Amino acid sequence: MTATADISPDAEFGFEAHPNNTTKEHLKTLHDLGFTRLSLGIQDFDPKVQEIINRKQSYQRVEVVTEAAREIGYSSINYDIIYGLPLQTKESIVDTIKKVVKLKPDRIAFYSYAHVPWMKPGQRKFTEQDLPSDEEKMAIYQTGRRMLEIAGYYEIGMDHFALTTDSLYKAAERGTLHRNFMGYTPDNTRLLIGLGASSISDTWTAFAQNHKSVENYMKAIANRELPVCKGHVLNEEDLVLRKHISNLMCNNETTWHKELKGDEVLKDGLARLNEMASDDLVHINSKSIYVTEKGRPFLRNVCMAFDTRMMRDQPDREVFSKII
């Protein structure tokens, strides 16, 4: 890429690494090529949880990689943590968060575990009986969230936390925070180019996904064809809803400048939020909607209320049946 494209002097390069396979030499080589951000998939430090999800990595190994990255000069380090994992408990997440906070990464992604064994064969090692109940999962999330906030991390949109020194926090303060398929970014760009098998490109008005199999992807490239297998062009309704969902995800609020009269798209979404408004999770008036502090854990559910395509395809779906 650096040999065939002009790179902006303020470009940010980041990569995700596995702590067990990442050496100081790897980090140094990538830093010399311009990489300044590192992400490590921690998930959970509890040995029992690591065993059942087949993701074994010690705290000591994560510490070594983190310290090496800082010594080399990486400006931002992110950890991914997952709540709701099999055999995970409130006690185990407390231990994991304590260890994470001790290493003080700049950003933390605190994701909800999704049990989809029909898509991920590795999840067939365990059953739903190994997972925390909905109530336990909520308690795990609330415990982790509270610990991160006490440690000085600020909640950024959905699932993310950052220190005040991190660019993600600064972007949220400036109002330039943006979210795409890869997560949150500090730059409000409307263009995302996906390279490689299964990746998704986004031009704001259209989506395109590459072939999922490496074989089909490489075959298309060899034939000098676009390796796209499917896509979607957004219509006017899609664009309106996308703007408001994006505002909610990044700013916890959205406003509109014309009366709702005749705009059935927004009216339908707002009507679905009446119960949440009654519970003081959102504040709605004639020109805006605001997600309260109490409602922040339910931000994804608020956004789902405006997913009209899902509502039309699955009209009887209980949107709010799963809280976290």
- Arithmetic mean of pLDDT, 210-221: 96
170 and 21 housed in the same domain = yes
Q: Is 318 part of a structural domain of the chain?
A: no
What is d(CA 255, CA 73) in angstroms, rounded to the nearest whole number? 41
18 and 118 in one domain? yes
Does residue 215 sit in the same domain as residue 245?
no
Distance CA 263, CA 260 (A): 5
The answer to whether position 18 is within a domain reads yes
3 falls within a domain? no
Question: Based on the domain organization, do 166 and 68 belong to the same domain?
Answer: yes
Q: How far apart are CA 83 and CA 88, in angstroms?
A: 8
Question: Measuring CA to CA, which residue among 229, 167, 240, 172 is closest to residue 201?
Answer: 229
Residue 316 pLDDT level (bands cut at 50, 70, 90): low
In a domain, 114, yes or no: yes
Quote the mean pLDDT of the chain. 89
- Same domain, yes or no: 47 and 171: yes
CATH code, domain with 261 = 1.10.10.920
Q: Are 168 and 162 in contact (CB under 8 A)?
A: yes
Same-domain check for residues 46 and 172: yes
The one-letter amino acid at 161: F
> Residue 7: which pLDDT band, with cuts at 50, 70 and 90?
confident
273-to-75, 260, 270, 289 alpha-carbon distances in Å: 40, 15, 5, 10
Question: Residue 39 pLDDT > 80, yes or no?
Answer: yes
- CB-based burial of residue 197 (10 Å sphere; 0-12 exposed, 13-18 middle, 19+ buried)? middle
Question: What single string gives the DSSP state of each residue in 169-234?
Answer: HHHHHHT--EEETTEEESS--S-B---STT-EEE-SSEEEEE-SSHHHHHHHHHTT---EEEEEE-
Residue 310: HSE in the Cβ half-sphere, 13 Å Cα cutoff: 11
Q: What is the pLDDT of residues 222-241, one digit of tens each?
A: 999 999 999 999 998 899 89
User: Within the chain, how many helices (H) and strands (E) appear?
Assistant: 12, 14
Would you call 226 exposed, middle or buried from its count of C-beta atoms within 10 A (0-12, 13-18, 19+)?
exposed
Instruction: Write down the pLDDT at residue 189.
Output: 85
User: Is 274 part of a structural domain of the chain?
Assistant: yes
| DSSP letter assigned to residue 124 | G
Flag whether pLDDT at 314 surpasses 80.
Answer: no
CA distance to 180, 207, 260, per residue, from 309 (Å): 19, 15, 20
8 Å CB contact between 1 and 33: no
Q: Domain total for the chain?
A: 3
* Type of residue at 157: G
Tell me what pLDDT residue 122 has.
Answer: 63
Q: Read off the pLDDT of each residue in 23-43 and give the average, rounded to a whole number.
A: 95
Q: Structure tokens of 62?
A: 């994560």
Domain extent at residue 169? 13-177
Q: Are residues 219 and 163 in the same domain?
A: no
Are 225 and 242 in the same domain? no
- Name the 3-class secondary structure at 147: helix
Question: Which residues neighbour 27 within 8 Å (Cβ) at sequence distance 6 or greater?
Answer: 38, 65, 68, 69, 72, 74
* pLDDT score for 321: 39
Write down how long the chain is: 324
Do 18 and 80 sit in the same domain of this protein?
yes
What is the value of pTM for the model shown? Answer: 0.87
Nearest-angstrom CA–CA distance, 278 and 283: 9
Quick one: 52 and 164 in the same domain? yes
